[in-house]
Amino acid sequence: MISLLTMSSPAPPFSYTFSHNVPELLKALNISLAISTYQTGKVVIFSPKDDSSLVQLPRNFERPMGMAVRNNNIAIALKDQVIIAANAPGMAPNYPANPNTYDSLFIPRASFYTGVLDIHDLAWTNKGLITVNTSFSCLSSVSYQFSFEPIWKPKFITELYPEDRCHLNGIAVDNGTPKYVTALGSGNTKLSWKENMLNGGVLIDIESNEIILSELPVPHSPRCYEDGTYALLSAEGKVVKINPEAGTYDEVSQINGFLRGMDRIGDYLFVASSKLREGSSLFKDAPIAKTKTFCGISIIYIPTGKQVGFIQYQNTVDELFEVKVLPNTIRPNLLNLDKELHLTSVSTRENVFWQEAQPQTS
């Protein structure tokens, strides 16, 4: 007697699972989530389809990293440019490819060609958009004339050269003012942060330019909220709350992943988690290397520090950089630059238009 083995079909690319409560929670909060994954070259939006299912909307971008959301704008750092997309909700109902589907539509309206700066975090401030310029070890602003305008650097960095001396990677903004940055080291030579990467991280007060925490295990994504300053310790998979005056921190939550990317609404933190790169020598001795890491989004309820929901990729996506809450929208769309559809959109303060053909010239 011959027995036949039935082989199950492999899961399609970008397959994911999620806890049953995520769609209902996103609807209750009236939000969607945007994540950037430079590894696959995508910005992905997750939205609640109903109380029990999600919609995943991936958009191609070249090496997307940091993102910043303010009012009706989202800024995205790419390989060699920073783009700013503006929400034009009036254009969403007549979106040509899928009309009467979306409640908002983010359309690229500006692009700054920066060259390759390895920009990590982005942040909107009272003085405009700030980039964490990792290659040049400084904070900078976008420029109409140059690749960037430097506006601050750690005091231990003596010159601005594209040498990634300290791996400056994160910025926290407090009431519109840049407050803290994170870096993986405090050296002043090319790639010196790699010498003690797992325990050499620092948190720096921007105004005083003093290091207020040191020996941090790969810090990322500092964020200032009304109840304090939070950050991620990537090598240990920890979400922490910082006490700047005492130079200490308290653990909020533990997640089995390389943490990088965080946003908040109300009492909920949304934390991006990545798998460790296979064969990576940089993180083989990190504490999280001893656990099974996952790629996705963890939802943390701050009062208890417990994970109350998750979105987890099953395949294709192994590394995330950022997660951002898109408030007041549960079915947004984002146009990319590939098909140049954004060039056919025209919006004014009074009206919106989709133009299918170029006007004739006389």
Q: Which two tokens stand for residue 80?
A: 């060699």
Q: Render 5-19 in DSSP notation, one character per residue.
A: PPPPPPPPTT-EEE-
With cut-offs at 50, 70 and 90, classify the pLDDT of residue 1: very low
CATH number at residue 121: 2.120.10.80
Query: What is the CB neighbour count within 10 angstroms for residue 191?
Result: 14
Q: How many CA atoms lie within 13 A of 89 on its CB side?
A: 10
Quick one: pLDDT at residue 3? 37
Please give the span between the terminal C-alpha atoms of the chain, in angstroms, as a whole number: 82
Give the span between the Cα atoms of 226 and 175, in whole angstroms: 9
Residue 361 in domain: no
Q: Give a yes or no: residue 360 inside a domain.
A: no
Which stretches of the chain are DSSP H helices? Answer: 22-29
Report the distance separating Cα 317 and Cα 297, nearest Å.
12
Give CA–CA dist 302/126, Å, rounded.
28
CA dihedral of residues 308, 309, 315, 320 (deg, nearest 10): -80
This prediction's pTM: 0.93
Taking alpha carbons only, the member of 44, 40, 31 closest to residue 76 is 44
The predicted model gives 220-237 an average pLDDT of: 97
Residue 93 pairs in a beta bridge with: none
3-state helix, strand, coil in the chain (%, to 5): 10, 45, 45
pLDDT mean over 113-139? 97
Q: Kindly state the average pLDDT of the residues 225-232.
A: 97
Confidence at 341, pLDDT banded by 50, 70, 90: confident
Residue 330 inside a domain? The answer is yes
Residue 241 lies in a domain: yes
* pLDDT for position 222: 98
pLDDT at residue 4 is higher than 60: no
The whole-number pLDDT of residue 361 equals 53
State pLDDT tens for residues 262-297: 999 999 999 999 998 776 777 888 889 888 889 999
Token representation of residue 66 = 């940091």
Predicted local distance difference test score (pLDDT) of residue 8: 60
Q: Is residue 358 a part of any domain in this protein?
A: no
Domain of residue 296 covers: 16-336
**Structural domain contains residue 102:** yes
Q: How far apart are CA 295 and CA 66, in angstroms?
A: 17
pLDDT over 90, % of the chain: 84
pLDDT of residue 6: 43
pLDDT of residue 232: 98
Return the sign of the alpha-carbon dihedral for residues 226, 253, 301, 18. Answer: positive
- What is the total count of domains within the chain? 1
Q: Give dist(CA 124, CA 237) in Å, integer.
A: 27
354 lies in a domain? no
pLDDT in tens, 231-241: 999 999 999 99
Local confidence band at 338 (pLDDT 50, 70, 90 cut-offs): confident
**Would 6 be classed as within a structural domain?**
no
